Amino acid sequence: MPVDPAFRPLLELPGMALQPPPAELGAAGLRAALAATPMPPVEKEPVHAVRDLAVPGPGGTINVRLYHPSAAQDLPLVVFFHGGGFVICDLETHDPLCRSLARASGCAVASVEYRLAPETRFPGPLEDCYAATRWLADHARDIGVDAARLAVCGDSAGGNLAAAVALLARDRGGPNLRHQALIYPVTDLGCDSASSRELAVGYMLTRDMMRWFAECYLGDPSRAADPLASPLKATDLAGLPSATVITAEFDPLRDEGEAYAARLRAAGVPVVARRYLGMLHGFLSMPYVTPVAYHAIADVGRDLRAI
């Protein structure tokens, strides 16, 4: 199937092939440039309540935004980690997606603003995500959620962090996770899958940009072999929570996400893997481009509703 025609006008815009910034611009300059770039409006779905929390973390306070889709008490909780290559994005960029996931799942969603690379390299952002997940589980009663129904979720780099938090939770004795929803996740920071080569340019996210993100996050390329940086490298995936793995047909990350789903299934982990045809990386955050975004959010929501 070809790329969904709805994406063609977007792909033809100047600068839509994401490339590493010039050295003199760096990560901070890239963030500033992106913040100054007008973006299409995305409807923010209404939810019952939104509150900001300050959670203690290994490097200081972690900002967490908690979304309650209804007034019901003891809702399941989904801890969400945003994408952005470990370098860009924040609570605001993913606010619409988190609202939609809360409504689709009926779960409370806690969006975690972890420290960004390269200022904080691996494993700092991951440790922030794990610390926030642990704190939210420990304080579930205080924030009106059910610690016995806990999941992690993330898109792109956030999918990497969600998968790694699931590994840490297993190996550190908790918290007990019921599910992991991985949306076009980064699972191998070696950036050398067949799809990363086949779709290296022309589909918004480029292989060069992923390599730059990996360099920012890891510092030392040899750290890509660490399973907490590249979950696909883990030798043992048994005992992990059930998983949803979402991939997009025209995404350089497609094959590593699908390979991780296959590895989980081979380890005895229940997995639902869905490839969305004609889609690009990031499509769940682009309902202004394609209605498939709404369908995919509804699919993930149904999986999370079952935790």
Query: What integer pLDDT is reported at residue 16 of this predicted model?
Result: 80
**Rounded Cα–Cα distance for residues 283 and 92 (Å):** 17
Answer yes or no: is pLDDT of 53 > 90.
yes
Q: Which residues are catalytic?
A: 156, 251, 281
Domains of the chain: 5-305 (3.40.50.1820)
pLDDT of residue 288: 92
- Asked if pLDDT for residue 42 goes beyond 90, the answer is no
**Which stretches does DSSP call E strand in 69-107?**
75-81
Strands 49-57 and 60-68: antiparallel
pLDDT tens digits, one per residue of 261-289 = 999 999 999 999 999 999 999 999 999 99
> How many angstroms separate the CA atoms of 42 and 35, rounded?
15
Contacts of residues 2-10 at CB distance under 8 Å and 24 or more positions apart, as own/partner, are 2/278, 3/203, 3/250, 3/278, 3/280, 4/278, 4/279, 4/280, 4/290, 4/292, 6/289, 6/290, 7/278, 7/280, 7/289, 7/290, 10/204, 10/289
Residue whose structure tokens are 């004795």? 173
> Using CA atoms, how far apart are residues 14 and 17, in angstroms rounded to an integer?
8
pLDDT of res. 13 = 85
How high is the pLDDT of residue 275? 98
Model pLDDT, residue 212: 98
- Report the pLDDT value the prediction gives residue 167, as an integer from 0 to 100: 99
pLDDT of residue 39: 76
Instruction: Band the pLDDT of 14: cuts 50, 70, 90.
Output: confident
In this predicted structure, what is the pLDDT of residue 156? 98
User: What confidence tens digit (pLDDT) does each residue in 105-115 have?
Assistant: 999 999 999 99
Angle at 238 between CA 256 and CA 240, to 5 degrees: 75
What is the rounded average pLDDT of the residues 291-307? 97
- Claim: this prediction has a pTM higher than 0.95: yes
Position 280 scores a pLDDT of: 98
- Residue 207: pLDDT over 90: yes
Higher pLDDT, 38 or 188: 188
